[in-house]
Structure formats: structure tokens, C-alpha cells
Structure 1
Amino acid sequence: MIKMDKKAKVLVIGDLMIDSYLIGHCDRIALDAPVAIVDVKEEKDVLGGAGNVIRNLASLGAKVSVMSVVGSDDNAKLLKHMLDEVETKSFLLEQKGRKTSKKTRIMTANQQIFRFDHESRNNISFDNVKKLYEKLQEKINAYDVILLADYGKGVLTKDFTQKIISYANKNNVKTVVDPFGTDYSKYQGAYLIIPNKTEAITATGIEIENSDDLLEALKEIKNKFETKEAIITLSEQGVALLKDDKLSVLPTVPLEVYDVTGVGDTLLASIGFALALDNDIVASLEFANLATGVVLRKAGTATVSLAEIESDQVDLDKKIIETHLSCQLK
């Protein structure tokens, strides 16, 4: 496990949203149209997007703050209430004419059959960028790490993102980015960018088909975007890391893969949490892999606790011992 000799203080900046679930049973088709009828038995709302990163950080025991822009609507009120419930210190600006993001999923038999979105995707106003940046300048020394959770909804504009990273670097605060889109120059100079394999191919132009390609892509990310560390996530296979100019793959060890929803949020949160506690990149990724291994076994946008991670660490240690003994017997 990672060292934990202080309280992790983490700031999340990005696109907040509500994940809403309508869960029920389906056994018939409508008479007026060829569509399934779901008899809704349960409704639930959880924090999604950057909010799911926050949920995971809170579950791990971090002191969490958030900066973002929402609409002036009922969903914004609900979102603020949900942030209060996980004891998050919020600096949220309301922008008239903007919709607070809400994604509603229709679920039956543990399957998503339909989703509808209520959101805005245009950039936030210049005035709100200015206000958020001024607040960041005022509070920068209160944070160990800044997590940028970009879902393409307009909070992390290119100009604002570059200002965050530049100011954080001047104050020796690490920035870790969950990226969106194809223009990674907006994340130039971040401590760490966390692309998946498909995103890394788009960002670097390198087709990743083998280990040599993976190594080349990692080097390109670090050199082209001037990051301190370079990684590429490989879903349930783990995380590829550039270490001393060599490729290292740190595997995730899930007992089973149930649902990949929100795994990227957990990865961002757990890496940020470990880095905030002054762990190195290898220890932070090993911790994050245990965290994502837990979440891969859960349905929907889920969180992970330290107790669950510790339990998985014990199971992993047992597997290693059993494998070692089996090899000795052979």
C-alpha cells in the first residue's frame, strides 16, 4: 500500500454532471410503436463526470475541493446538494442560459437500453474563466494536487487549462489530466496526462499494435506535450508506464470484469490521491490499479474505499504466494 502520513488535499476542476438511473423490468413491447416498455421500479441520481472523481476521492478519505460552472437550474441545485453530501468544498459559478449536465440511463436486467442527455457543450464565458482563475490563484497553496477532469462540456477551455497548468507549475503543484478530444496541446506541461490506448493513438499518430509501438507512443507523449510522466491506460490489462525510457506494464488484477463504466474516473481519483500523499508514480499506479480492479467488479458509476483496496491487496498477495508455491512444486 501507499504511504499515508497526511491528509490528501485535492482540487478537481472540470465538467460536473448528474448520472441518473431509471431501473426496472421489461417484458413487453408498446402497441403504438416498436419500442420496449420498462416498468420503472427504482430511480437514483449520483454524481457523474468530475463529480464521480470527487465521489471516489471522498470515499478514499481525501479533503476535496471543486471549481466549475453549472447552469441556473434545478439540476444545479441537486448537484450542489449532492456535493455537500460528500463534504466537498465547492466554488461553483452559475451561468445563465447554460444547462447543468444530466445523463439519464434506462436500465433493465443490468443492461443499459437507452440514454438521454440534458446538457450544454459550449465554452464557459470569458468572465467565468477569469473568476475561476482568480479563485485558483487565491487558493493554490491549499492543494497538493489538481485534477483536470475534461469531458468536453466547456469548462476546461484551452486558454483556461493552460493557465491552470502554468500557474500550478509555478507553485510546484502537480496537475493530472483526464483528457478529451484530439488537441492535447491544451494540456501542455501537465505533470501527467492519462489517455487510453485509442486516445494515445489519436494524440500521437502512432498505431499501437505491439510493445514497441506502445513504448514509442509513451515517449512521444512525454516529449511532445512536455509531461513529467507518461502513461497509457489499457483497460482491464492495466497501465503502461514510461520508466527510465523503458516500457513497464503494471497489471490490474480484477477478480472479474463486470462493468467498465466510470473506471477512468476512479483511475484519475486514485492516482491523484496517491500523488497528493507524496508517493512516486509507480506506487501511485499500483494503488490505482488495485482501485480500478475493485470498480471493474461493480455496476454503473461506482466508488472504491481504502478497505476494499486493502482487501484486494491481501488477495493479490495470496495469489502471488500460491503461484510461487505451485511453481516450486512443479
Structure 2
Amino acid sequence: MINIEKKPKILVIGDLMIDSYLIGSCDRIAIDAPVPVVDVKKEKSVLGGAGNVIRNLASLGADVSVMSVVGDDDNAKLVKHLLDEVGTKSFLLEQKGRKTSKKTRILAGTSQIFRFDHESKNNISFENVKNLYSKLVEKINAFDAILLADYGKGVLTKDFTQKIISYANKNNVKVIVDPHGSNYSKYEGATLVLANIEEAQKISNIEISNDDKILEALKLIKSELKTEYAIITLAEEGIAILNNDKLSVLPTVPLEVFDITGSGDTVLASLGFALALNNNIYDSVEFANLATGVVLRKAGTATVSIEEIQSDQVYLDKKLIEKNLACKVK
């Protein structure tokens, strides 16, 4: 487990959204169209996108702040209310005519039938970039780390992202990025960019097919993006880390996958949490593996606590001891 001596102070900047769920049962097809009819029994709304990163950080015990831009609509009011419930310090700007992101999922039992999105994807205004950056300059020394949660909805423009990273570097504040899209140059200089295999292939232009190619891609990512660390998430195979030009792969935690919704948010939150407390990259990745394992066993957009992670760690340690004892008996 990582060293947790204090409450890390973490700033999240990115695209806030609402994950809305209409939950019911389905036992018939509509007469007027060949579609399933869901009899809705329950409705719930939780923070999604950067908001889910915030929920996970708060659940882990971090002191969380957020900077973002929302619309001037009812969904923005709900976002603010949900952030207040989590206890987040918020600096939110409203942009006239902008739609606050909301993703509505229709579920029959635990099966997702349909999803529809209500959102804006255009870049935020130059004036809002200027105002957000001014607030960052004012508050930078209050944070141990900054997490950039980019979902391609327009808050993290290239100019704004580069300004954040540059100013954070000048003030020795770590920046961990969950990227989006194909223009990865905007994340140049970050402490760490979380890349999956598909993203790593786009950044490096290397087709990843074996360990040699993983190592080659890691070296190129670190060189091209000028990051302090280079990692690639390898789905069920774990996470690959570059250390002194050598490859290390930390295996994923054995688990039962129930729902992958929001698991990437948990990786960003847990890695940011651990690195903000100055834990090394290996311990931080192991912590993130455990955190993600907990969330993957839950339905919908979920969070994880330190207690749940510790419980999984104890369970895995016990299984490892039992395995070693069995090997000795043989």
C-alpha cells in the first residue's frame, strides 16, 4: 500500500458532466416499433466525466477542488448541487448558450438498453480560458497535484492545456493527464499521460504487438511528450512502466469484471492521489490497480475507498501466502 500521511490537495480541471440512469424492467416489445419497452422504476443522477474523478478523489479522502466551464442551464445547476454534496471547492464559469454535458442511460435490470447524450463539444471561449488561467495562477501553490480530465468537450483547449502544464511545472506541481483525441502534443511536459494501447500507438506510430514494441513505444512517448514517467495500460495484462530504459509490467489484480463504466476515471484519480503524496510510480500503479479492481465489481459510475482497497490488498496477500505454501508442500 502507498504511504498516506496527509490529505493530498488536488485540483481537477476538465469536462464536467452528469451520468443519469433510468432503471427499470423490460418484458415486452412496443406495438408501434420493434423496440424494447422499459418500465422505469428508479431514476438517479451522479457526477460523470471529470466529476467522477472528483467523486473518487473525495471517496479516497483527498481535499478536492475543481475548475471548469458549464452551460447556463438546469444541468449546470444539478452539477453544482452534486459538487456541493461531495464537498468540492468549485470555481465554475457559465457560458451562455453552452449545453452542460449529460449522458442518460436506460437500463433494464443491469443491462444497458440505450444511451442518449445532451452536450456541447465546441471549445470554451477565450474569455473563459483567460479567467480560468487567472484563477489557477492565484491558487497554484495550494495544490499537490493537478489532474486534467479531458473528454473532448472543449474545456481543455490546446492553448489552455499548455498554459496549465507550463505554469504547474514552474511551481513544481505534478500534472497527470487522462488524454482525449489525436492531438497529444497539447499534453507535452506533463508529469504523466495515461495512455492505453490504442492511444500509445497513435502517439508513437508504433504497432504494439510484443514487449519490445511496448518498450519502444514507452521510450518514444516519454521523449515526444517530455513526461517524467511513461506508462501504458494493457487492459487485462496490467500496466507497463518505463524505468531507466527498461520495461516493467505490473500485472492487473485478479477480479470479476461487472461493469467497466468510469474505470478510467478511477485510474486517473487513484494514480493522482498516490503521486500527490510523493509515492513512487510502482507503488502508485499498484494502488491504482487495486482501486480499479474494486470499481470494476460495481454497477454504473462508482467510487472506491481506502478501506476497500486495503481489504483487497489483505485478500491478495493471503492468497499469495497460500499459493507459496502450496508450492512448498509440493
After TM superposition, is the score higher than 0.5? yes
Deviation at 1:320, TM superposition (A): 1.0
After the TM superposition, which of the residue ranges 229-238 and 72-81 deviates more from structure 2? 229-238
1:96-107 alignment, distance < 5 Å: 96-107=96-107
Contact 1:22–1:44 (Cα < 8 Å) also in 2 = yes
Report if aligned partners of 1:294, 1:309 keep a CA contact under 8 Å in 2: yes
Aligned partners of 2:38 and 2:259: how far apart in 1? Answer: 21
1:68-90 Cα offsets, whole Å, 9 max, x none, are: 00000000000000000000000
Provide the identity percentage.
75
User: 1:63 maps to what in 2?
Assistant: 63
Provide the secondary structure at the position in 1 that maps to 2:91. strand
Partner of 2:227: 227
Task: Please list, as runs of the form range in 1=range in 2, the aligned pairs for 1:244-263 lying within 5 A after superposition.
Answer: 244-263=244-263
Would you say 1:267 and 2:277 are equivalent positions? Answer: no
Provide Cα deviations, 1:96-155, integer angstroms capped at 9, x if missing partner. 000000000011131111100000000000000000000000000000000000000000
Q: Aligned equivalents of 1:186 and 1:26: distance in 2?
A: 45
Q: Which runs of 5+ in 2 are unaligned?
A: none
Residue 316 of structure 1: how far off its partner (Å): 0.9
1:11 aligns with 2:4: no
- 1-structure distance, mates of 2:211, 2:326: 29
Where does 1:139-288 land on structure 2 (aligned, <5 Å)? 139-288=139-288
Partner of 1:318: 318
- The CA distance in 2 between the partners of 1:245 and 1:326, in whole Å, is 36
3-state SS of 2:195 partner:
coil
Q: What is residue 91 of structure 1 aligned with on the other side?
A: 91
Residue of structure 2 in register with 1:31 after alignment: 31
Mapped partners of 1:60, 1:69: distance in 2: 25
Q: CA RMSD in A?
A: 0.8
Q: Secondary structure at the match of 1:252?
A: coil
| Deviates further, 181-190 or 198-207 | 198-207
C-alpha offsets along residues 23-67 of structure 1, whole Å, 9 cap, x if unaligned?
A: 110111111111110000111101000000000000000000000
What's the secondary structure of 2:154's corresponding residue? coil
Amino acid of the structure 2 residue aligned with 1:182: S
Alpha-carbon distance in structure 2 between the residues aligned to 1:112 and 1:299: 11
> Could you tell me how far apart the structure 2 residues matched to 1:270 and 1:192 are?
13
- Shift of the alpha carbon at 1:181? 0.5
Write the distance in 2 (CA, Å) between the matches of 1:236 and 1:208. 15
Name the CA distance, whole Å, in 1 between partners of 2:101 and 2:91: 17
1:136 aligns with 2:132: no
Equivalent pairs counted in the alignment come to: 330
| Gap change, CA 1:208 and 1:230, over 3 Å in 2 | same
Amino acid at match of 1:210: N
Q: Is the 8 A contact 1:11 1:146 kept in 2?
A: yes
**SS of equivalent residue, structure 1 residue 10:** strand
2:132 counterpart of 1:119? no
Aligned to 1:76: 76
Per-residue deviation at 1:230? 0.2
Supply the distance in 1 between the matched residues of 2:104 and 2:175 (Cα, whole angstroms): 31
Separation (CA, whole Å) in 2 of partners of 1:284 and 1:315: 19
Separation of aligned partners in 2, 1:144 and 1:254 = 31
Residues 241-277 of structure 1, C-alpha deviation per residue, up to 9 Å, x if partnerless? 1111111111221431111111110000000001111
CA distance in structure 2 between the aligned counterparts of 1:323 and 1:33, rounded to whole angstroms: 56
Distance 1:170 1:325 in 2: 51
Is the 1:254–1:294 contact (alpha carbons within 8 Å) kept by the matching residues of 2? no
Equivalent residue letter for 1:33: A
**Pairing of 1:288-307 with structure 2 (within 5 A):** 288-307=288-307
Give unpaired runs (5+ residues) of structure 1: none
Amino acid at match of 2:127: D
Determine the C-alpha separation between the residues in 2 that align with 1:146 and 1:64. Answer: 10
Secondary structure in 2 matching 1:98: coil
Q: Following TM superposition, by how much is the alpha carbon of 1:280 offset from its aligned partner in structure 2, in angstroms?
A: 1.2
Which amino acid counterpart does residue 275 of structure 1 have in structure 2?
L
